[in-house]
Amino acid sequence: MRQHLDRTRNALVSLVGVLIGLRYYWERIAHAFVTLLAVTTITFALFRLMPGSPADAMRADFERRLAGSGQAADPEVIDQMIRVHTGFDPDKPIYIQYVEYLRDVIIYQDFGQSIQYGDPVFDILFAAMPWSIFISIYGLAFGYTANILLGAAMAYKEGSRFDSYSTVLATFLNSIPYYVGAFFFLAFFAYDLGWFPGSGRYSRDVTAGLNPEFMWSIVHHGTLPIMSSFIVGFGGGALAMRGNSVRILGEDYLRVARLRGISSSRIATRYVARNAILPLYTQMMIGIAAVFSSSVVLEYIFTYPGVGWYTYDAIMRRDYPLLMGSFLFFTIVTLIGILIAEFTYGIVDPRAGSGDQSEAY
Amino acid sequence: MKHTEETGTDGGEQLSDDQLFGQLAKADRVQLSRRERFGLLLDAYVLTPGRVAWSDWRTRIGILVISLFLLTGVAAKVSTSNWWFLEHVTIIESPATNQAPTNHQPFDGGFAAITEEGGWIDTTASFPWVEFNAPLGSTNYGEPIGRQLVHSTPDMVEMVIAGAVVSVGLAILIGITAGYKGGKVDSVLMSITDIMMTMPGIPLVIVIAAIYPPRQAWLVGVILAIDAWPGLARALRSQVLTLREESYVEASRTMGIPSTTILSRDITPQLMPYILINAAQAGRSVIFESVALYFLGVLPFTTANWGIMMDTAYSEGFALVNMANFYQIFWPMMAVVIVSFGLILFSQGMDRVFNPRIRARHSKKVGGGEDQEH
């Protein structure tokens, strides 16, 4: 009987634990949704409400085009064209337009239609997205791995010559913008030495599909953009990791752990590394936005047709639906990235899931 | 490292009680004149931090680079100015096409050219004794790159200052209010901050710049600040969360002093060092992003910027494909790297100045030295 009660109580406790944990996840999801709503609203406002907005520019553009082709600029035809390209109906009151726009974007993933390509914006960007993610994720992953390893090594050798040289090196690397790195890579590795291709996503000679040549071609073309993206991910993180590790190495609980005779490898991984990485992990969530942002510049430099490249293309060709769509797309990809990071953060740091009042900052 | 050596000296000799209390009594009696008090304040807030700052090589290099950046800006501004007597002062001529041979290589002729007439540094000139002939090379149109770099600086300085002031100002306003007020205000302000933080910065700036092309340098800085403030606001908020529990803040609160006064008198001064450090970082990110956006050609070319030079070198000089022209894109890139390196070193060095532990160690050392003189 006693055992039975205990078991029930344990089950209840774990259930409550799971619910509290879930509450944290639900909150995060709700938060992401609110952000998406806000960004969509901003996009709508920029599109529709502001004087001299893309909608006005588009109208003028269409009027000019129609006049150029000898047709009379019929306002209804133009309204129709705007409706097709942006997804909102200029005849309806503004709040209904707003609601319909939100509905289109969030429920139907309808971002309008590209003026330049004539295809739905969503299809264009969805096809381009994996390439951007490929570059950004690897850049971020390599960058943060390098941060953690270098920072830990510096903290381990604190005060040594290696430490001071690495500090200077890390500071210097931090002051090199990623595009400067990209120019150097492109000029030396692609054009001068010819080791890597200077543009494109994969070679045209290979057939697309799951074959080794194609995959090698992707890696070959992706190396330089990933190396440049690595610079973004690297940032100043190594110094932060070094600082965290040094601070933790001086904590009392570490001395206690040593007195208890816990093995040094366990102390290094469980006590020092874990606590030192946690602040870096929150920093990484901001890093995700930075890495995806940087892809606009990098994909232009490497002529790598991802979402960033289409953004650039859209500005140059004044393709406003594509421009606004790619901005929304960037936000959504970033939001998903941050959401994944936050969910795993809950696993890495049990305190984050306990739902207490003071949040992690 | 340097600071570990300082640790060894901070022990010093202990003062005897007599000395200590004698001094205290003396200090009690003395009525300080306004001038002396000013001297003390100057020492406490300007000279001592200055000395601590200068003792660290990072701040030294950082301050040198930043002053060089500002001085270059002033020199270029003076050279182009039409104001009163400045009209006749030209330190560095404005760049124009065909001032130098087209595609002139940097440091043409090597060191031997210094003693020759018409070399990249011409020491045979009569006045002002040294003449520069496109030492950094020239573009395809014969514009000297060095002059272009110098004359882009005033606009960049304006942009960096505007960007740093606006981003730091917004961060102070939102971060400190949120941290101090707590509750609903906090959650609303932090939601806004989170939304801004998750929005990818460059695409947002591109969209805004596509709709409203900013034509003034300071406006570019302000637009770029949109991307820079949220991180700092969050960091400031977490600092305030610990400060608001301090007893002196609580005392002010119980005395019924309004929140705005508490925030501006009690809390913000404590955060000033932290804010200064982050202003340098904000300046760096403004330079990074502006150069990237000017390079992309997203911002209108109405202001001068190193990014525009890079764009010209890239699209007209084919600087990456044609290695002979690589210098055209190399110099503006170096300018960006050097200025941001200076800003980062400055902020790192200032971090050490304001870090109370290092500061205390140093001031103890200074105090010890004075005591020995008495």
**How is B126-139 classified by DSSP, letter by letter?**
SSSS-EES-TT-B-
Q: Among A90-99, A199-208, B6-15, B175-184, which stretch is predicted with the lowest mean pLDDT?
A: B6-15
Cα angle: A219, vertex A221, A225; to 5 degrees: 95
Name which of A44-53, A251-260, B34-43, B263-272 the model is least confident about.
A44-53
* B residues 216-255 lying closer than 8 A (beta carbon) to A: 227, 231, 234, 237-238, 241
Residues of A in contact with B4 (CB under 8 A): 159
Asked if B203 and A327 touch (Cβ cutoff 8 Å), the reply is yes
SS3 B192: helix
Arithmetic mean of pLDDT, A43-57: 74
For chain A, give the mean pLDDT: 80
pLDDT over 90, % of chain A = 0
Mean pLDDT lowest for which of A82-91, A146-155, A325-334, B269-278? A82-91
The answer to whether the Cβ–Cβ distance between B200 and A334 falls below 8 Å is yes
Mutate: best of A199, A311, A312, A357, partner B, most B CBs <10 A: A311
Amino acid at B16: S
Is the pTM of the predicted complex or chain greater than 0.90? no
Supply the DSSP symbol for B114. Answer: G
pLDDT, average across residues A169-179: 87
Predicted local distance difference test score (pLDDT) of residue B23:
54
* A283 touching chain B per CB within 8 A: no
Among the residue ranges A5-19, A322-336, B10-24, B65-79, the one predicted with the least confidence is B10-24
Give the sign of the dihedral formed by CA B208, CA B209, CA B213, CA B216.
positive
CA distance A168 to chain B (A): 9
Nearest CA-CA partner of B179 in B101, B79, B254, B268: B268
Rounded to 5 degrees, what are φ and ψ at A72? -75, 140
**Which one, of B136, B169, B131, lies nearest residue B151 by Cα?**
B136
DSSP string, A2-56: HHHHHHHHHHHHHHHHHHHHHHHHHHHHHHHHHHHHHHHHHHHIIIIISTT-HHH
pLDDT tens for chain B, 374 residues: list them. Answer: 444 444 444 444 555 655 555 555 555 556 677 888 888 888 777 777 777 777 778 888 888 999 999 998 888 888 887 777 767 777 777 777 777 777 777 777 666 666 666 666 666 665 666 666 677 777 777 788 888 888 888 889 999 999 999 999 999 889 888 888 878 888 888 888 888 887 888 888 888 888 888 888 899 999 998 888 888 888 888 888 878 778 888 888 888 888 888 888 888 877 877 788 788 888 888 898 899 999 988 888 877 788 888 888 888 878 777 777 888 888 889 999 999 999 888 888 877 766 655 444 444 444 333 333 33
Q: What is the pLDDT of residue B165?
A: 92
The label of the residue with tokens 């200032």 reads B350
Q: Does A327 touch chain B (CB under 8 A)?
A: yes
Cβ separation B206–A315 shorter than 8 A: yes
Q: What is the pLDDT of residue B28?
A: 53
Q: Is B200 on the interface with A (CB under 8 A)?
A: yes
User: What is the pLDDT at residue A223?
Assistant: 85
DSSP letter assigned to residue B121: E
Higher pLDDT, B27 or A327: A327
Could you give the 3-state DSSP secondary structure of residue B63? Answer: helix
Provide CB contacts within 8 A for A136, sequence distance 6+.
A229, A288, A291, A292, A294, A295
Looking at residue A204, its pLDDT comes to 74
Which residues on chain B are in Cβ contact (under 8 Å) with A293? Answer: 200-203, 227
Tallying the residues shown for chain B, one arrives at 374
Phi, psi of A305 (to 5 degrees): -70, 80
User: Which of the two residues, A90 and A248, has the higher pLDDT score?
Assistant: A248
Tokens 């208890």 belong to which residue?
A260
Q: Report CA-CA distances (Å) from A345 to A187, A235, A333, B235, B314.
A: 39, 20, 18, 19, 42
Contact B207 A334 (CB under 8 A): no
A292 → chain B, closest CA residue: B200
> Omega into B128 within 30° of 0, i.e. cis?
yes
pLDDT at A142 over 60: yes
Section A36-59 average pLDDT: 77
**Would you tell me how many other CB atoms lie within 10 Å of the CB of residue B19?**
12
ipTM of the predicted structure?
Answer: 0.81
CA A331 to chain centre: 8
Instruction: Tell me the residue length of chain A.
Output: 361
DSSP B144: B
Report d(CA B149, CA B153) in Å as an integer.
Answer: 7
Give the range among A87-96, A181-190, A271-280 with minimum mean pLDDT: A87-96
- Give contacts of B 333-362 with A, CB under 8 A: 333, 336-337, 340-341, 343-345, 348
Give the residue from A234, A232, A209 showing the smallest Cα distance to A299. A232
Cβ of B198 and A34 within 8 Å? no
Q: Do B296 and A52 touch (CB under 8 A)?
A: no
Q: What residue of B is the nearest CA neighbor of A178?
A: B288
The two tokens of residue B59 are 């701040």
Q: Supply the pLDDT for residue B170.
A: 92
Q: Is A205 an interface residue toward B (CB < 8 Å)? A: no
A355 contacts A151 by C-beta, under 8 angstroms? no
Q: How confident is the model at residue A52 (pLDDT cuts 50, 70, 90)?
A: low
C-alpha span between B271 and B259 (Å, rounded): 16
Assign 3-state DSSP to chain A and report helix, strand, coil percentages, each to 5: 75, 0, 20
CB contact under 8 A, A175 and B191: no
